[in-house]
Structure 1
Amino acid sequence: MKKARVIYNPTSGKEALKSNLADILDILETAGYEASAFATTPTPFSAREEARRVGESGFDLIVAAGGDGTINEVVNGIAPLEKRPMMAIIPGGTTNDYARALKIPRGNIKAAAEVILKNQTVRMDIGKASENYFINIAAGGHLTELTYEVPSELKSVFGYLAYLAKGAELLPRIKPIDMHFEFDEGEYHGNASMFFLGLTNSVGGFEQIAPDAKLDDGKFSLIIVKTANILEIAHLVALMLNKGKHIHDDRLIYTKTSHLNVWTENNSQPLMINLDGEYGGDAPMRFENLHQHIEFLANLDKIPNNAVMGDLDRLNEVSEEFIREVEKLQDEDIDGDGTIGE
């Protein structure tokens, strides 16, 4: 009999995963697996170490049950292995970008687990950054560094980018950084306020950031924002919210690439790298796309939009609040140069 291990965060989703664990195990047994479970602990990298041990023990399937952080840890545990078990996801967090990408229902743990019964899979690309792996995004620059100052409870409600609605007052602190990039189609050397390297099209619930992203083509979606002007950045965000029209704007570079090298010339100005929403080290750094590296069970059938798009009313509220904040900044931009407060 095939073996499956559920690695779950017992505190995720108000302990909903813990209370539904028996149903998850029953579904796995119905799918033909000898199933067992492991509850993560406060010990650092608890999920990662368990995933590595399970993978080395020859398990056929690991079910990562929790938020994107739990999924990231499990991926980091098995990605270095030569023989990797298949993965399934049961979302228990709030943003759940990866569940959106795989069309896994959110808010219903049993329905998410039942996707396993369909036995539909996709081999997903995984990102590698030095010795770390990421499943959704890598980013760097002052714009992304603002995430570290936003309270975690706000990020959990609004997602990765929606904190901009709260963080609009921090935008004047954005300065250009002399960055250097090498990617498949060429290179860029010059000022930039941020770069973004995506594997899926969903970041914090917004599905317009990389609107043409593919899950398994061996390519990242690379965005380099060249401007550091507050109002121009705000305009780019507005274009993004308007059906992803930002990708055609000449104030940024938008391209596909299988690798990226990034560094700065000024060592006194460190470039912090954000991997899946957490600090992942400083540049210089090389990113590689590991093509179809891990096989995931996914819901390949069409499902209702409300199961995959998140709270659209909330996203609209955030967008409108951001626009209002930008309008206030515009009123304060007396010189018209986008350098408020300098």
Structure 2
Amino acid sequence: MTKKARLIYNPVSGHEQMPKNVADILDVLEQAGYEASAFRTTPKPMSAQNEATRAAEEGFDLIVAAGGDGTINEVVNGLAFLEKRPKMAIIPAGTTNDYARALAIPRDDILEAAKVILKNNSRKMDIGKANFGDRTQYFVNIAASGSLTELTYGVPSEVKSALGYAAYLIKGAEMLPRLTSNEMRLTYDDGVYEGKLSMFLLGMTNSIGGFEQIMPDAQLSDGLFQLIVVKPSDPVNMMKLMALALNGKHVDDPNIIYTKTTSLKAELIGESKDTELPVNLDGEIGGYCPVTFENMKQHIEFFVGGPEN
């Protein structure tokens, strides 16, 4: 029986490069043994997500998400809750492409990224689940909350490309005067943290905002999140901490908690209890605290870069 693949692509990602590559990508999928078709996303909310669910329920064997981290996140959200899930492949066409970086997918050539499928090298990956009480969201790279979160996603990609680490330090210096802290209770495998914090990060890969040292021990399929909690500090020390983080030397700092956990419950307490604190999932606001996170071990199988099987 012929296998079926559905390409779900964002036409405006990557300087609108995707539409002119669709025919060549479908040709690669045919070479890989799939009967291939394409879906062009629309500005309608959850366009990619709904199509991923529809294709999976129709029995497609492979869903290819082509676009930026937001498109990939949407497709994952369209599949993760299903009992029977097709394989996934990624064609990065965004600005940061954190998850593609983690999977060793070429990020500067759309067609080369598609050809990863021809190598038939796939691996079951962990998926993060965030329960906000009234609804559930999924993520593949990072969940974060707190006033420092803006630093992770607030630097424009062109500035990052030009200035590298310095871009984050400049952004950090700009943010410091308005940094606040929230009083929270974080419950994780090894204990409970109660007190003020500037940010928590729950990572699934080692690539955040294009840098690969912030979660130095991240594994993609071990069923564990990397948890970083940043305690409040004075501005000078906070700048020092940011510089250390960008080089992966922050994990031993006394203002940092760094551990691994299968789950996390994050809730506001004390004077922060009535604060509306957003939670960022893969670069977009996914909901607001309180939230409970669960690592869904090896939940979706992805094609990855690397040698052929």
Q: TM-score, normalised by structure 1?
A: 0.83
> Which of the numbers 274, 277, 287 marks the counterpart of 1:281?
287
User: SS state of the match for residue 178, structure 1?
Assistant: strand
Quick one: distance in 1 between partners of 2:25 and 2:150?
38
Superposed CA RMSD: 1.9
Map 1:11-26 onto structure 2 (within 5 A). 11-26=12-27
Question: Which residue does 1:140 correspond to in 2?
Answer: 145
- Give the equivalent residue in structure 2 for 1:259: 263
Please list the CA deviations of residues 183-205 of structure 1 after superposition, one character each: whole Å capped at 9, or x if unmatched. Answer: 01111101111100000000111
Comparing 133-142 with 168-177, which one deviates more in the overlay?
Answer: 168-177
Aligned 8 A contact 1:95 1:157 in 2 = no
Q: How far off its partner does 1:300 sit?
A: 2.5
Looking at structure 2, the residues matched to 112 and 145 of structure 1 have their Cα atoms a distance apart, in angstroms, of 30
- Is the counterpart of residue 200 in structure 1 residue 202 in structure 2? no
Percent of matched pairs sharing the same residue: 61
Do the aligned residues in 1 keep the contact of 2:169 with 2:242 (CA within 8 Å)? no
Equivalent residue in structure 2 for 1:158, among 156, 160, 173: 160
Secondary structure, counterpart of 2:54 in structure 1: helix
AA at the equivalent of 2:113? A
Q: Larger % of helix: which?
A: 1
How far does residue 156 in structure 1 lie from its aligned partner after superposition?
A: 6.7
Deviation per residue, 1:5-31 (Å, 9 max, x gap) = 000011111221111111100110010
Q: CA deviation at 1:271?
A: 2.1
Alignment equivalent of 1:217, drawn from 214, 222, 235: 222
- For 1:184, give the aligned amino acid: D
2:15 is paired with a residue whose SS is coil
Distance, in Å, in 2 between the alignment partners of 1:164 and 1:122 is: 36
Whichever residue aligns with residue 275 of structure 1, its letter is L
Q: Map of 1:1-342 to 2, 5 A cutoff?
A: 1-130=2-131, 131-145=136-150, 150=154, 154-155=156-157, 158=160, 162=167, 165-242=170-247, 244-265=248-269, 266-301=272-307
Deviations 1:49-92 (A, max 9, x none): 00010111110000000111000000000000000000000111
> How many Å separate the matches in 1 of 2:292 and 2:220?
20
The 2-side partners of 1:163 and 1:113 are apart by: 32
User: Is 2:173–2:239's contact at 8 Å kept on the other side of the alignment?
Assistant: no
Taking structure 2 as the reference length, what is the TM-score of the superposition?
Answer: 0.92
- The one-letter code sitting in structure 2 at the alignment partner of 1:10 is P
Question: Hey, which bits of structure 1, 4+ residues long, moved more than 4 A?
Answer: 145-148, 161-164
User: Shift in Å at residue 268 of structure 1?
Assistant: 2.6
Q: Is the 8 A contact 2:169 2:239 kept in 1?
A: no
8 Å contact kept, 2:233–2:255: no
Q: Alignment length, in residue pairs?
A: 298
Structure 1 residues 301, 232: closer, same or farther in 2, change over 3 A?
Answer: farther
Structure 1 gap ranges (5+): 303-342
> Could you list the runs of 5+ residues in structure 2 that have no partner in the other structure?
none
Query: CA offsets, 1:192-229, max 9 Å, x none?
Result: 11100000000111000001100000000000001232
The answer to whether the 8 A contact 1:227-1:252 is kept is no
2:152/2:208 contact within 8 Å kept: no
Q: Which string of whole-angstrom CA distances, capped at 9 and with x for unpartnered residues, describes residues 258-302 of structure 1?
A: 000010113332222111111111111100000000000001239
CA distance in 2, matches of 1:145, 1:180: 21
Contact 1:175 1:228 in 2 (8 A): no
